[in-house]
């Protein structure tokens, strides 16, 4: 089992093209840990902002009466992918893993696979 720091390091090293990674509590908007980013990408601000994305999607599912959960959310930008994976384990309720990927050097299918693997090993 991996802790937050180990999981974020794993995301940065095992997912090709990762620019930054975070574990975020979407009920409070607080990042429990961040890694990477840089001058052009403040991972704490980005992580907090994406809590609104999750809340909006959850409200939409509720309004539509859909009895289904969100596995992940992909935001495609000009040069980046922003991938949000909601944690589903018993200790992960209300949390999500968030990675920012370089669009030209990443593989979305592999990134999703790796995030699922990292989630399974994460111990909170």
Domain ranges of the chain: 4-121
Calculate helix-pair angle for 4-14, 108-121, nearest 10 degrees.
160
Q: H-helix or E-strand containing 65?
A: none
The pLDDT, as a whole number, for residue 92 is 64
Mean pLDDT of 10-28: 95
Percentage of the chain exceeding pLDDT 90? 79
Q: Which of 60, 56, 43 is nearest to 97 (CA)?
A: 43
| Protein fold of 4-121 | Beta-Lactamase (3.30.450)
Structure tokens at 12: 């940065």
Residue 107: C-alpha distances to residues 45, 82, 98, 116 (Å): 25, 12, 16, 14
Q: For the segment 27-80, what is each residue's pLDDT rounded down to a tens digit? A: 899 999 999 998 889 999 999 999 999 999 989 999 999 988 889 999 999 999
The pLDDT, as a whole number, for residue 107 is 96
Burial environment of residue 42 by CB neighbours within 10 A (0 to 12, 13 to 18, 19 or more): middle
Band of pLDDT at residue 16, cut at 50, 70 and 90:
very high
**Looking at the chain, which runs of residues are DSSP E strands?**
18-25, 30-36, 72-76, 80-86, 95-102
Distance, CA of 23 to CA of 34 (rounded, Å): 7
Bigger pLDDT: 93 vs 98: 98
The DSSP secondary-structure symbol of 78 reads S
Band of pLDDT at residue 1, cut at 50, 70 and 90:
low
């Amino acid at each position: 089992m991996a802790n937050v720091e180990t999981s974020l390091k794993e995301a940065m090293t095992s997912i090709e093209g990762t620019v930054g990674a975070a574990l975020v509590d979407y009920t409070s908007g607080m990042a429990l840990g961040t890694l990477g980013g840089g001058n052009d990408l403040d991972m704490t601000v980005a992580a907090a902002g994406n809590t609104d994305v999750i809340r909006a999607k959850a409200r939409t599912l509720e309004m539509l009466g859909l009895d289904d959960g969100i596995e992940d959310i992909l935001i495609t930008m000009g040069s980046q992918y922003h991938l949000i994976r909601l944690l589903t384990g018993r200790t992960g309720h209300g949390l999500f893993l968030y990675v920012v990927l370089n669009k030209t050097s990443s593989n979305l299918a592999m990134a999703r696979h790796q995030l699922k693997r990292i989630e399974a090993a994460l111990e909170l």
